[in-house]
Amino acid sequence: MEARVPLIDDGQVPPLLARHFEGGDPGVIVRALASVPELAEVAIPFIGTVLGPGSLPAVPKEVAVLRTSALLDCRYCIDSRTVAATEMGLDRALVQAALATPAGERLPGLDDAMAAVVAWIDAVAVGTGPVPDRTFAAVAAVLAAHQIVELTVVVGTTVLLNRFCTSLALPTSAETRAALAQQGFSS
């Protein structure tokens, strides 16, 4: 399937975005965003900051991205984040559970702390209206307030990316498909 919008190639990079293409292939999200340079100029660093190292430990952050992508059924994000999660050493059973467990259900094999985090992720990603007080109380028992803020931004940004990639039909790269196959996952 081809993307529904132009993916800016290396010869057509707008001047404002040159630095994002200097380090090699920036990926299809950046190439799609590049059609609107002034938006991409701020969105790319924002996304990098949100998904990069922060106050939230790496495992819950990666689970948040993977789980949200699975709940939103974003093929591009599921593929790319499955590879990333596996490469960072996330437990394979946790990856599979995050991908397969329906929204609102407890993932098998999680301790209570991680279950509370995932319940928060599920509620933010696909819930409507207020998140129940008991869900907040559970996550507040295991994460500091600033970490809940960061986790919520991670989930929200992932929702944005999920809908962006899915709506615009951004394709999984051949490299990602190859990595998935090598890791024993299917695209």
User: Is 4 near another protein (CB under 8 A)?
Assistant: no
Strands (E) across 31-187 are located at none
Q: For another protein, what does the binding mask look like between residues 40 and 59, x meaning CB under 8 A? A: -x------------------
Q: Considering beta carbons, is residue 98 or 170 the nearer one to another protein?
A: 170
Q: Are 67 and 98 in contact, with CB atoms under 8 Å apart?
A: yes
Instruction: Spell out the residues 6+ positions from residue 31 whose beta carbon is closer than 8 angstroms to its own.
Output: 7, 8, 9
Short-list 96, 110, 97, CA closest to 184: 96
With binding defined as CB under 8 A, does residue 3 bind another protein? no
45/15 Cα distance (integer angstroms): 16
Please state the closest distance from residue 15 (CB atom) to another protein, in A.
5
CA distance 59 to 93: 13
Using CB under 8 A, which of 28, 30, 32, 34 touches another protein?
A: 34
Q: Does 11 bind another protein (CB under 8 A)?
A: yes
Q: Could you say whether residue 37 binds another protein (CB under 8 A)?
A: yes
Applying CB under 8 A, which part among 7-15, 45-53, 96-104, 141-149 lies near another protein? 7-15
